[in-house]
């Protein structure tokens, strides 16, 4: 009794110490990142004084950068030649060999330094994203900052656990073995990322790759290269502080050729973009048998049953459609609303959308910003016109604020459309814009049928007062991501994988699956009680009644080993195998015991004159 007490006290003291340690702020160094050339101080320099004109600006060797919301020119980056890309990948490969030996402690310190910088520079990061893509500061905070901070904290707390060897069961014939899966870095991860969230789209693959011991080369989109090159400086500064090798992370700029060169030289490709380009990447990757993860967008359904709080769900619906001007791979693009609340839901959505003001996000308090791409509003317009031609009807649009001349085409008003059906392109093609087509349904079966009727299969959001009903609907959809009574919450749970089926692609990034997707998954089997018990090839056993006991032990050991018989095979080796299979895997325990007994008999008979006869 007495010696329990010190242990208890010790344990208690330990717990208190741990708690107190948690209160001490961790020692995380700060980094300095040069921003002098990135911040718009209002001074009109020669560079930013003119308006970007796409037809004149397009050059094959330069990636031209401009602010979509104002069309102000921001400069250019080189479009890398294939040989240059290969050179950069080689550098990254050298760096990876060193980084592969780094400790998780070092990797976590790298993450903490980044996290500290991000938290202290939220405004700067969002402003650069906003200038580069036209999104509002709030949209940037949600999609760039929060998602990235979630990812970093998840990796800090669970990353190592999911990369540690994982033990598995060994099965009946291999009882004496331990079997495990090891996760080794793959080498150089190549990521080709989209323009919609330039900060997060770089950090997302970079964090997973570097934390799992890889190097990474990221080709940023030609439509959002400017901010990416600044975000790169943050990463470099943090790598420097933890003593990581140079070139562990690289960011490259360019067009299709640059991307193709990356596909053919990296060890794995993560691609975020459209199905058309995804197909091209897969075709190129086939040449070198490079594995790919494809995240190709979606046409997500947003389903609303009649038993919901309409006021609340309407708010979520508008956020789901207008976040980042609707430029989200998992944005809500098709709204299916139960007949019973259809008119009140539409009325509520109309009210909200009419209050949305659209304008250049950094020069006023606007709810929604610009579109990132130049031709995009034309495409959205054509989808709307096609729908109107087929009988649809616009019931609400947001209003424009003070748009700068020359950038008017970069804006598209949020638009609510009713009387839509699946004959319209608006309900089939990914719009990637702030359009809300709303369609009625009468039964859950119909909602499922409509929502499932798409060539895409990324995500969905289902709303119902009954959680069970919402889950039942979501479970029937052929999709990779389902949010019950919420929108896009899956992406905030960074332990979860993200990705779709059908034309939305395959493979998963984010979560445990995404982290392990950066790994060479190696299965390893070894002896559990080495060297005492190891696999033996059963061989003739000298048996007499005196040493029957030893024989049984030996026999048992040989059974749990591979039941291959020693060369030259004996006459009854197949019979032995047959019995062994039955003894190990038989469904009936009595049959199994009988098989064991027969095996014993075969082994003990082995040295009888009858069986020796066979050889010669
Ligand atoms: C779609 O709606 C239009 C106009 O209301 C109608 O003519 C057409 O038949 C509908 N198509 C389908 C597939 O329901
Ligand atoms: C709109 O922009 C112009 C030019 O930048 C400026 O002169 C004008 O005052 C602005 N109007 C409002 C209402 O902000
Ligand atoms: C949904 O679509 C998939 C194929 O795209 C199909 O296999 C599945 O049966 C459909 N589910 C329902 C409930 O219609």
pLDDT tens per residue, range 175-216: 889 999 999 999 999 999 999 999 999 999 999 999 999 999
Q: Please, are residues 88 and 173 in contact by the beta-carbon 8 Å criterion? A: no
Find all residues with CB under 8 Å of 42, minimum gap 6, and list them: none
Active site residue 295: yes
- Report pLDDT digits (tens) over 477-499: 999 999 999 998 999 999 999 99
The residue whose CA is least distant from atom 5 of ligand 3 is 478
pLDDT at 108: 97
Question: Alpha-carbon distance 491 to 346, whole Å?
Answer: 27
Residue 424: Cβ-neighbour burial (10 angstroms; 0-12, 13-18, 19+): buried
Which tokens is 138 given?
A: 């709030």
Question: Phi, psi (5° rounding) for residue 595?
Answer: -60, -40
Whether the CB of 446 sits within 6 Å of ligand 3: no
Is residue 171 within 6 Å of ligand 1 at its C-beta? no
Token reading at 35: 């921003």
Q: For residue 439, give the ligand nearest its CA.
A: 1
| Ligand 3 atom closest to Cα of residue 501 | 5
The token duo for 12 is 């208690």
Q: 43 pLDDT exceeds 60?
A: no
Task: Among 283-292, 313-322, 462-471, 604-613, name the one with the lowest average pLDDT.
Answer: 604-613
Our answer on whether the CB atom of 274 is closer than 6 Å to any ligand 1 atom is no
CB 613 within 8 A of CB 572: no
User: Which mutation among 299, 449, 478 tests ligand 3's pocket best, with the greatest number of atoms within 8 A of CB?
Assistant: 478
DSSP, collapsed to helix, strand or coil, labels residue 346 as: helix
172 or 138: which carries more pLDDT confidence?
138
Q: In what order do the strands lie in the sheet with 415-418?
A: 393-397, 415-418, 435-441, 332-338, 300-304, 459-463, 481-484
Mean pLDDT in residue range 285-310:
96
How high is the pLDDT of residue 564?
47
Question: Among 71-85, 138-152, 190-204, 545-559, whose mean pLDDT is lowest?
Answer: 545-559
402 CA to middle of ligand 2, Å?
6
pLDDT band at 225 (very low <50, low <70, confident <90, very high): very high
Dist. CA 281 → ligand 2 center (Å): 45
* Rounded Cα gap, residues 603 and 427, in angstroms: 71
Angle subtended at Cα 439 by Cα 428 and Cα 307, rounded to the nearest 5 degrees: 130
Average pLDDT over residues 362-389: 94
What are the Cα distances from residue 20, in Å, to 14, 15, 23, 517? 10, 9, 5, 37
pLDDT, tens digit (0-9, with 9 covering 90-100), for 526-572? 988 877 766 665 555 444 555 666 666 665 655 544 444 667 777 77
pLDDT at res. 557: 55
Distances (CA, A) of 472 to 200, 340, 444, 475, 476: 32, 19, 9, 5, 7
DSSP per residue, 34-56: --TTTS--S---TGGGSB--HHH
How far is 222 from 258, CA to CA, in rounded Å?
Answer: 11
| Beta bridge mates, 75 | 65
Query: Which of 43-57, 80-94, 239-253, 504-518 comes out lowest in average pLDDT?
Result: 43-57
- Top-confidence range, 370-374, 420-424, 537-541: 420-424
Q: What is the C-alpha to C-alpha distance for residues 317 and 344, in angstroms, rounded to an integer?
A: 14
Does the pLDDT at position 349 exceed 90? Answer: yes
Point out the ligand 3 atom lying closest to the alpha carbon of residue 476.
Answer: 13
Please give the average per-residue pLDDT across 9-17, as a whole number.
92
Residue nearest to atom 13 of ligand 3 (CA): 476
DSSP code for 121: T
| Confidence check: pLDDT of 304 > 90 | yes
The rounded distance, in Å, linking the Cα atoms of 456 and 249 is 32
Confirm or reject: Cβ of 315 under 6 Å from ligand 3.
Answer: no
Residue 227 has pLDDT above 50, yes or no: yes
Q: What is the mean pLDDT of the chain?
A: 90
Alpha carbon distances (Å) from 449 to 131, 172, 463, 468, 476:
41, 45, 16, 18, 9
Cα–Cα dist 139/272, whole Å: 19
User: Among residues of the chain, what percentage have pLDDT more than 70?
Assistant: 89
Listed in order, strand segments (DSSP E) in 55-99 are 62-66, 73-78
Q: pLDDT by residue (tens digit) across 252-274?
A: 999 999 999 999 999 999 999 99
Q: Is the pLDDT of residue 241 over 80?
A: yes
Nearest CA to ligand 3 atom 4: 478
- Is 329 a residue of the active site? yes
In sequence order, the 6+-apart residues with CB closer than 8 A to the CB of 267 are 186, 187, 188, 189, 190, 214, 290
Two structure tokens written together for 498? 């993200």
Give residue 488's pLDDT: 86
List the catalytic residue out of 126, 229, 305, 329: 329
Strand 62-66 to strand 73-78: parallel, antiparallel, or no bridges (unpaired)?
A: antiparallel
Tell which one of 336, 390, 424, 453 to mutate to probe ligand 1, the residue whose CB is within 8 A of the most ligand atoms.
390
- Residue 326: CB partners within 8 Å, gap ≥ 6? 333, 414, 431, 432, 433, 434, 435
Q: In the Cβ-directed half-sphere of 368, how many Cα atoms lie within 13 Å?
A: 33
pLDDT (0 to 100) of residue 34: 87
- pLDDT at position 616, please? 41
Task: List the catalytic residue out of 295, 333, 348, 430.
Answer: 295
Contacts (Cβ under 8 Å, ≥6 apart) of 134: 67, 68, 69, 325, 360, 361, 369, 370, 371, 372, 410
| pLDDT confidence of residue 310 | 97
Structure confidence at residue 562 (pLDDT): 44
Residue 613: which pLDDT band, with cuts at 50, 70 and 90? very low
Question: Which atom of ligand 1 sits closest to the CA of residue 424?
Answer: 1
Q: Please give the Cα distance from 286 to 280 (Å, whole number).
A: 10
Model confidence at 21, in pLDDT bands (50, 70, 90)?
confident
C-beta of 423 in contact with ligand 1 (< 6 A): yes
pLDDT(42) > 60: no
């Amino acid at each position: 009794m007495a010696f329990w007490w010190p242990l208890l006290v010790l344990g208690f003291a330990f717990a208190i110490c741990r708690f107190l340690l948690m209160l001490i702020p961790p020692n995380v160094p700060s980094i300095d990142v040069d921003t002098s050339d990135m911040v718009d101080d209002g001074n009109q320099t020669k560079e930013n004084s003119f308006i970007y004109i796409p037809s004149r600006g397009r050059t094959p060797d330069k990636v031209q950068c401009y602010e979509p919301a104002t069309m102000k020119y921001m400069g250019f980056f080189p479009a890398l030649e294939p040989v240059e890309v290969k050179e950069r990948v080689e550098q990254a490969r050298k760096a990876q060999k060193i980084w592969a030996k780094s400790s998780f402690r070092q990797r976590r310190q790298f993450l903490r330094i980044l996290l500290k910088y991000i938290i202290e520079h939220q405004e700067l990061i969002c402003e650069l994203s906003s200038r580069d893509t036209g999104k509002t500061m709030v949209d940037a905070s949600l999609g760039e900052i929060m998602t990235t901070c979630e990812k970093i904290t998840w990796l800090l707390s669970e990353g190592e656990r999911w990369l540690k060897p994982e033990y598995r069961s060994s099965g009946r014939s291999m009882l004496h073995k331990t079997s495990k899966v090891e996760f080794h870095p793959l080498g150089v991860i190549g990521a080709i990322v989209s323009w919609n969230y330039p900060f997060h789209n770089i950090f997302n693959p970079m964090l997973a790759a570097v934390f799992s011991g890889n190097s990474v080369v990221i080709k940023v989109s030609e439509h959002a290269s400017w901010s990416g090159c600044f975000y790169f400086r943050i990463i470099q500064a943090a790598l420097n502080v933890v003593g990581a090798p140079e070139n562990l992370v690289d960011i490259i700029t360019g067009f299709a050729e640059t991307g193709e060169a990356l596909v053919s030289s990296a060890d794995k490709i993560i691609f975020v973009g459209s199905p058309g380009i995804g197909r091209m990447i897969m075709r190129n990757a086939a040449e070198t048998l490079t594995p790919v993860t494809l995240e190709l967008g979606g046409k997500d359904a947003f389903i609303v049953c009649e038993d919901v709080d309409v006021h609340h769900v309407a708010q979520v619906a508008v956020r789901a459609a207008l976040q980042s001007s609707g430029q989200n791979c998992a944005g809500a693009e098709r709204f299916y609303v139960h007949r019973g609340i259809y008119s009140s839901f539409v009325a509520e959505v109309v009210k909200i959308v009419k209050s949305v003001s659209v304008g250049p996000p950094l020069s006023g308090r606007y709810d929604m910003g610009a579109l990132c791409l130049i031709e995009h509003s034309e495409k959205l317009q054509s989808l709307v016109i096609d729908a109107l031609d087929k009988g649809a009807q616009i019931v609400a649009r947001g209003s424009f604020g003070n748009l700068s001349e020359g950038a008017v085409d970069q804006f598209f008003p949020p638009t609510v459309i009713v009387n839509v059906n699946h004959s319209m392109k608006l309900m089939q093609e990914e719009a990637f814009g702030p359009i809300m087509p709303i369609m009625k349904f009468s039964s859950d079966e119909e909602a499922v049928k409509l929502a499932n009727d798409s060539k895409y299969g990324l995500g969905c959001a289902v709303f119902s007062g009954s959680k069970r009903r919402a889950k039942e609907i979501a479970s029937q959809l052929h999709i990779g991501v389902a949010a019950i009574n919420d929108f896009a919450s899956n992406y905030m749970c960074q332990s979860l994988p993200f990705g779709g089926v059908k034309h939305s692609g395959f493979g998963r990034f984010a979560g445990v699956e995404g982290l392990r997707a950066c790994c060479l998954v190696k299965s390893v089997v070894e002896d559990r009680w080495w060297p005492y018990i190891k696999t033996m090839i059963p061989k003739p056993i000298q048996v007499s009644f005196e040493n029957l006991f030893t024989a049984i032990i030996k026999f048992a050991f040989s059974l749990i080993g591979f039941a291959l018989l020693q060369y030259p095979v004996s006459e009854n080796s197949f019979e032995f195998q047959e019995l062994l299979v039955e003894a190990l895997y038989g469904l009936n325990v009595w049959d199994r015991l009988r098989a064991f007994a027969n095996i014993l008999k075969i082994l003990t008979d082995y040295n009888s004159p009858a069986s020796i006869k066979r050889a010669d």
